[in-house]
Structure 1
Amino acid sequence: MMLIVLMILFMYFFMMRPQQKQRKQHQEMVSSLQPGDEVVTIGRLHGVVHEVNTTQQTVTIDCEGIYLTFDLNAIARVNRPQAAEQSTTQASETDK
């Protein structure tokens, strides 16, 4: 009986809990999307967010003049241009 309880605890801490954390991080990332953010979809399409529709849970992405609408869950990664500029500025200041 103790072995079964240990197996359930093992499954929770090493399988379920990390998935819940990852899902929560993805949800926070998607909820903070703003027009102008550079994104990569799960199909590896790169583009810039043009519009976010929270009522329909969609995002419109500009891919060099072509506007495509995706489900918010299709966003795999967000690259914010402002954050990248700030980090390179800070790195150059610390090198001086």
Structure 2
Amino acid sequence: MQGVIKSYDPSSGVGTIIADTDLREYELAEGALEHSPFRMLRQGQRVIFDLDGRGLAMKLRLGSEVDMGTPGFELAHPDDRQHPQDGPDQPVLGPKGH
């Protein structure tokens, strides 16, 4: 899933993400930032996340414009669902593939 950080308290680790798809709010699971590139979160920051069995946000990670589905950014290898933008022949894509 992808969404935006609504709130985050670095001292307690408590935070909320608003999902892009349905605007539903998800609380962060304990340790949601462990093994992620984040040490801190800011309001409005875009993230990709998974849900644990209790419906809490976990495994926060960065997404590229392609991962986020930003219009005008295309997959370099659309048939490769696992690594659609990987590979040595990957073109540098910007808006509208330029």
TM-score normalized by the length of structure 2: 0.32
More helix by share: 1
| Rg larger in structure | 1
TM-score normalized by the length of structure 1: 0.32
